Amino acid sequence: MTTPRIIAGPCVIESTEVMEHIASTIRDISERIGMKIIFKASFDKANRTSIDSYRGVGIERGLQILSDIKSRYGLDILTDIHEAWQAEPVAEVADVVQIPALLSRQTDIIVAAARHAKVVNIKKGQFLSGMDMQHPYLKAIESGAKEVWLTERGNMFGYNNLVVDFRNIVDMHTFAPTVIMDCTHSVQRPGGMGTKSGGNREMIPHMALAAKAFGADGYFFEVHPTPDEALCDGANSLSLDDLEITLTSLLSIK
Q: Where are the domains of the chain?
A: 5-252
Q: Which CATH architecture has domain 5-252?
A: Alpha-Beta Barrel (3.20)
For 151-173, the pLDDT digits (tens) are 999 998 877 789 999 999 999 99
For 230-254, the pLDDT digits (tens) are 998 888 999 999 999 999 999 998 8
For 183-229, the pLDDT digits (tens) are 999 998 775 454 455 678 899 999 999 999 999 999 999 999 999 99
Quick check: helix, strand or coil at residue 120? strand
For the four alpha carbons of 55, 88, 116 and 38, in that order, the dihedral sign comes to negative
For 46-61, the pLDDT digits (tens) are 887 788 888 999 999 9
pLDDT score recorded for residue 51: 85
Which of 80, 76, 173, 75 is closest to 121 using CA atoms? 80
For 78-114, the pLDDT digits (tens) are 999 999 999 999 999 999 999 999 999 999 999 999 9
pLDDT score recorded for residue 198: 61
For 120-140, the pLDDT digits (tens) are 999 999 999 999 999 999 999
pLDDT score recorded for residue 53: 85
Distances in whole angstroms, Cα of residue 240 to Cα of each of 15, 19, 65, 82, 225? 16, 12, 20, 27, 5
Can you tell me the distance from the alpha carbon of 141 to that of 16, in angstroms, rounded to the nearest whole number? 36
